[in-house]
């Protein structure tokens, strides 16, 4: 039992939703894509688009092949109103002349101002099915990686035989079968129910298993996909009641449903005979069987009322019927082979498109090779001399023979162009039912044979697939520091920075900024990338990678470094501490650790220096303690001499802090006296708690990322990626001092020499706003003629300085103290003044204190 | 792209485990002219055929190696860890990677 438009429908075990609906008397299953014509069961095997409905909120489910499940809710789609009375069916009645192929390229363009109206309408009618944007996720998709020695696609007799053959040779064989009802005799192989979506390089065959995508890697692939029944092209060939033999076979033999009362069979091969036998068994009156191989019929016209077949006219003879079985022969389902690299050739004697030049590692067996398919050569169309009525070549996209003729007349004379222009073969059936018929029409119109027209490129997927399945399970990997939970307990507003979760602030940005300036603050900087570079060549290696010098550094000292590429662009920045003669501790930006390790290893694959590069980012936590009282705080928890002489600015010391082995780096990213403590991650919370408790009477306060950004901006310390982009170099980023161009070689040296030779074009400068409004980051820098000349990279209100400060890229001629420029603000312009020196503590007295 | 690549350490693996750093280029031996520098930094041969390129086993053993791949078919003819060409202290010929990583 399931519901269809809210009404209950009974079903038997083994039914599909489609067969149960048919048994319950439903004949119209959908409305067509463009003309909203009523459509009913056509192939009944999951190939065509005619039975697509929305099942439990999932659009475009082919109900003819979807096994019943109790309680399912089935709704028709692509209708305004009901299946029987679709308001948009008006496009069929009057749209004909107005909606020819390619109309969307030509009409609804003028007047331009009406486009929003057109667009709104077109958006509402385009596409098939609706997705409820508020729907809860009803299914969970997953991906499984699997391997098979031999993967057999298709579990029919030929596939089973091939599977047995390979299994007997000792291979692990997997058989993929897309028809849930096909009986596959168990053998020495694994059976997977699902649809092979394509064949990719490396023997990759993704199999749509419903909720799981199996990514099969196979050493050998056997394609046994069989053949697909082809329709005939005549006026009224899309009426409800016109079916392919397979549909009759399924309804009668599989579900014991009488498909109609009075039937006519028109066939070009043996399939018509078999269908006739099935019809008779089911007690259907067969009003006529016409074998077009013997009888010459030029005109077939289906007549119907409200889109449902009432009679058929064969060269003028009218026969009443409610079922018309048409068979245009079968064609090999060669798509997978074509994707694998096989060539598709036309065999004129059998009128089949067959695969040849099967690539290595791939086999084709059974009907897909053309074997055992009786020759059938239907005419391109059966609309007689008059050529009246809509003959559908493609039921998915509502493409008629007239559309193809029109496309040819407009110059789209190759079948590949026809595909793109008319969208024939691009609908949900993926060309199964329309590819060969469209080739036949092209051959006739061009007065040539189908072989000369050729086929279009077969591309995955072989069948429609839900995007959810391809996307897999939604993973959103997050990195959390070992102090993460403390931040949450303290009320930290967590935000994403790359894949890291970090506190934006703990609720009061200004107070946090002022705590650092006035007392002491602490911030979790465990997200910094941390590398240990050690070995006899460590100094030389780093000197070659960075523009700075490191060989002349004394152990226990720190330098700021900027990594460049050979094009002279800034890649990453951080601090480098020399721990001993041949050991350096390198920090990177918070998201840069992986890229920097990769970079270091890459260059060393060429240079071959004797160094070890170890990424210890996850192993070490880091806390920056900064502010005028930072020394007082640290003195309480360590025996280290933390006096200005004991640990001077840019000194690195190792010792115990609160009993934890620590590397203490005295650096000043936030502009006040500060110590960056690096220590084993497991002590994260302990260290955090100890510092907070110990510093309570000193006025300690944790601060988040946003206050840190204000503080660093006061010092004009750059953020790589925020103030620099993929075009920035250190010279123009106002850090020319860092590039020691007298060194023999370093990565980026030549490009920087060139920058220096050509002179500055633009420069990264500080600025302050004349009035107190904060300009948007990314906003334009304009000069008095109102020409944009640069851009704002950072801007903040500084509570310490009581003004709005920022950084911007400006032309070199504006890069002098006091220069004026304007910033776009809400359509107006605000004045700003260039500042080259840090806004706060320009001489670094507080840093060094 | 779904081909398999044989990591010199780990054996055949899905290409998604690797990152590709493009064709192997030759870093100038001494200070280049602007034209030579531009060619080295920006120009690629971009062949339709067999190309020697850098690969990194990012989700694996993190080794850099070179592969010979046919860009038309994605057939990988060989992979190998290359001997470093520029030992410490020398300023001899250096074949080096393309610096095109984004700033982070």
| Tens-digit pLDDT profile for residues A12-55 | 988 999 999 999 999 999 988 888 889 999 999 888 999 999 99
State whether residue A136 is helix, strand or coil: coil
Q: Which of A234, A231, A610 is nearest to A400 (CA)?
A: A234
Quote the pLDDT of residue A107.
Answer: 66
Kindly determine whether residue B85 and residue A753, on different chains, have CB atoms separated by under 8 Å. no
pLDDT confidence bin for A283, thresholds 50/70/90: very high
Question: Residue A163 is inside which H or E element, if any?
Answer: helix A157-168
Whether A47 and A36 have beta carbons less than 8 Å apart is answered as no
Which contacts qualify for A384-388: CB closer than 8 Å, 24 or more apart? A384/A298, A384/A299, A384/A301, A384/A315, A385/A298, A385/A299, A386/A299, A388/A235, A388/A301
B2: distance to nearest CA of chain A, Å? Answer: 5
Q: Which of A819, A823, A771 is nearest to A793 (CA)?
A: A823
Interface contact A605, partner B, CB < 8 A: yes
State whether residue B102 is helix, strand or coil: coil
Residues in B touching A754 (Cβ below 8 Å) = 34, 37
Quote the pLDDT of residue A513.
Answer: 97
Out of 3.50.50.60, 3.40.50.1100, 3.30.2270.10, 2.40.50.90, the CATH code matching B4-25+35-83 is 3.30.2270.10
Rounded average pLDDT over A119-142: 75
CA-nearest residue of chain B to A498? B104
| A626-641 CB burial, b ≥16 within 10 A, e <16 | bbbbbbbbbeebbebe
**What are the tens digits of pLDDT across the range A370-392?**
998 988 889 999 987 666 678 99
Chain centroid to CA A793: how far?
A: 30
Quote the pLDDT of residue A614.
Answer: 95
Whether A701 and A785 have beta carbons less than 8 Å apart is answered as no
Q: Which of A431, A450, A346 is nearest to A393 (CA)?
A: A431
Select from B2, B34, B98 the Cβ nearest to the Cβ of A754: B34
**ipTM reported for the complex, 2 dp:** 0.88
A566: distance to nearest CA of chain B, Å? Answer: 6
Interface contact A462, partner B, CB < 8 A: no
The whole-angstrom separation of Cα A792 and Cα A806 is: 7
Quote the pLDDT of residue A86.
Answer: 72
**What are the tens digits of pLDDT across the range A320-335?**
999 999 999 999 999 9
CA-nearest residue of chain B to A199? B2
Backbone angles phi, psi at B48, to 5 degrees: -95, 95
Domain locations along chain B: 4-25+35-83
Structural domains in chain A, sorted by start: 2-122 (3.10.20.440), 143-224+330-373 (3.50.50.60), 230-329 (3.50.50.60), 391-462 (1.10.10.1100), 476-527+618-728 (3.30.1360.120), 529-616 (3.30.70.1400), 760-849 (2.40.30.110)
Question: Residue A246 is inside which H or E element, if any?
Answer: helix A245-249
The whole-angstrom separation of Cα A474 and Cα A631 is: 46
CA-nearest residue of chain A to B98? A566
- List residues bridging with A781 in a β-sheet: A790, A823
Whether A621 and A485 have beta carbons less than 8 Å apart is answered as no
Cα separations in angstroms, A432 against A49, A176, A330, A428, B92: 11, 19, 10, 9, 61
**What are the tens digits of pLDDT across the range B54-96?**
999 999 999 999 999 999 989 999 999 998 876 543 333 333 4
């Amino acid at each position: 039992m399931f519901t269809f438009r809210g009404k209950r429908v009974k079903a038997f075990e083994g039914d599909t939703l489609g067969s149960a609906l048919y048994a319950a008397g439903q004949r119209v299953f959908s409305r067509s894509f463009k003309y909203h014509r009523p459509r009913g069961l056509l192939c009944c095997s999951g190939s065509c688009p005619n039975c697509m409905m929305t099942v439990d909120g999932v659009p475009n489910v082919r109900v003819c092949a979807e096994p019943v499940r109790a309680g399912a809710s089935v709704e028709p789609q692509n209708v305004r109103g009901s299946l029987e009375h679709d308001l948009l069916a008006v496009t069929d009645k009057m749209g004909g002349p107005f909606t020819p192929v390619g109309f969307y390229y030509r009409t609804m363009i003028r007047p331009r101002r009406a486009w929003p109206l057109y667009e709104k309408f077109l958006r509402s009618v385009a596409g098939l099915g609706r997705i409820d944007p508020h729907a809860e996720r009803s299914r969970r998709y997953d991906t499984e990686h699997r391997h098979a020695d031999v993967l057999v696609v298709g579990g029919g007799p030929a596939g089973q035989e091939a599977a047995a053959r390979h299994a007997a040779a000792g291979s692990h064989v997997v058989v993929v079968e897309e028809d849930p009802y096909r009986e596959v005799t168990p053998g020495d192989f694994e059976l997977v129910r699902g649809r092979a979506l394509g064949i990719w390089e490396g023997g990759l065959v993704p199999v749509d298993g419903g909720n799981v995508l199996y990514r099969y890697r196979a050493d050998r692939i056997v394609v046994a996909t069989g053949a697909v029944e082809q329709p005939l092209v005549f006026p009224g060939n899309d009426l409800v009641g016109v079916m392919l033999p397979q549909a009759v076979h399924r309804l009668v033999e599989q579900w014991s449903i009488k498909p109609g009362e009075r039937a006519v069979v028109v066939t070009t091969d043996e399939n018509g005979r078999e269908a006739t036998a099935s019809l008779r068994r089911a007690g259907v009156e067969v009003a006529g069987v016409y074998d077009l191989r013997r009888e010459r019929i030029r005109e077939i016209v289906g007549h119907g009322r409200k889109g449902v077949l009432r009679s058929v006219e064969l060269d003028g003879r009218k026969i009443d019927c409610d079922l018309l079985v048409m068979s245009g022969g079968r064609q090999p389902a060669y798509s997978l082979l074509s994707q694998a690299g096989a060539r598709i050739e036309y065999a004129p004697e059998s009128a089949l498109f067959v695969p040849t030049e099967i690539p290595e590692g791939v086999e084709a067996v059974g009907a897909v090779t053309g074997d055992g398919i009786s020759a059938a050569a239907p005419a391109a169309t059966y609309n007689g001399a008059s050529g009246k009525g809509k003959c559908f070549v493609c039921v998915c996209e509502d493409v008629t023979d007239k559309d193809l003729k029109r496309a040819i007349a407009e110059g789209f004379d190759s079948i590949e162009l026809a595909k793109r222009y008319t969208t024939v073969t691009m609908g949900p059936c993926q060309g199964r039912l329309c590819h060969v018929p469209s080739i036949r029409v092209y051959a006739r119109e061009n007065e040539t044979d189908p072989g000369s027209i050729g086929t279009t490129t077969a591309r995955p997927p072989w069948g429609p697939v839900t995007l959810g399945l391809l996307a897999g399970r939604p993973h959103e990997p997050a990195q959390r520091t070992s102090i993460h939970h403390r931040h949450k307990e303290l009320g930290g507003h967590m935000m994403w920075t790359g894949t890291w979760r970090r506190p934006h602030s703990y609720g009061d940005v200004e107070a946090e900024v002022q705590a650092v300036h006035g007392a002491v603050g602490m911030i979790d900087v465990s997200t910094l990338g941390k590398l240990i570079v050690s070995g006899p060549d460590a100094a030389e290696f780093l000197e070659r990678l960075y523009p700075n010098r490191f060989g002349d550094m004394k152990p226990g000292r720190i330098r700021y470094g900027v990594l460049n590429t050979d094009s002279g662009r800034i890649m990453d920045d951080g601090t480098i501490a020399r721990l001993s003669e041949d050991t350096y501790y390198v920090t990177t930006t918070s998201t840069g650790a992986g890229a920097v390790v990769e970079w270091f290893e890459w260059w060393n694959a060429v240079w071959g220096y004797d160094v070890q590069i170890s990424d210890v980012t996850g192993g070490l936590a880091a806390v920056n303690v900064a502010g005028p009282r930072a020394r007082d705080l640290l003195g309480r928890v360590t025996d280290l001499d933390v006096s200005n002489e004991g640990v001077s600015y840019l000194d690195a010391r190792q010792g115990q802090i609160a009993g934890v082995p620590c590397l203490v780096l005295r650096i000043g990213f936030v502009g006040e006296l500060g110590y960056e403590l690096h220590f084993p991650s497991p002590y994260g919370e302990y260290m955090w708690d100890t510092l907070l408790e110990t510093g309570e009477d000193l006025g300690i306060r944790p601060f988040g990322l946003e206050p840190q950004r204000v503080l660093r901006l006061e010092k004009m310390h750059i953020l790589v990626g925020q103030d620099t982009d993929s075009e920035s170099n250190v010279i123009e980023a106002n850090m020319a001092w860092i590039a020691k161009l007298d060194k023999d070689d370093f990565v980026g040296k030549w490009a920087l020499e060139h920058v220096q030779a050509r002179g500055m074009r633009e420069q990264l400068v500080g600025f302050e706003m004349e009035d107190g409004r904060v300009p948007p980051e990314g906003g334009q820098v304009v000069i008095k003629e109102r020409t944009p000349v640069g851009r704002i990279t950072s801007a903040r209100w500084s509570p310490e300085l009581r003004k709005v400060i920022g950084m911007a890229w400006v032309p070199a001629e504006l890069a002098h103290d006091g220069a004026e420029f304007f910033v776009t603000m809400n359509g107006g312009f605000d004045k700003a003044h260039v500042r080259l020196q840090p806004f706060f503590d320009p001489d670094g007295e507080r840093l060094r204190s | 792209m779904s081909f398999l690549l044989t990591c010199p350490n780990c054996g055949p693996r899905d290409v998604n485990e690797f990152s590709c750093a493009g064709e192997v280029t030759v870093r100038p031996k001494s200070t280049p002219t602007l034209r030579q520098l531009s060619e080295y930094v920006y120009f690629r041969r971009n062949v339709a055929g067999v190309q020697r390129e850098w690969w990194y086993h990012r989700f694996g053993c993190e080794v850099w190696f070179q592969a010979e791949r046919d860009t038309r078919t994605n057939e990988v003819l060989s992979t190998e860890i290359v001997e470093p060409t520029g030992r410490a202290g020398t300023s001899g010929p250096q074949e080096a990677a393309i610096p095109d990583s984004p700033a982070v």
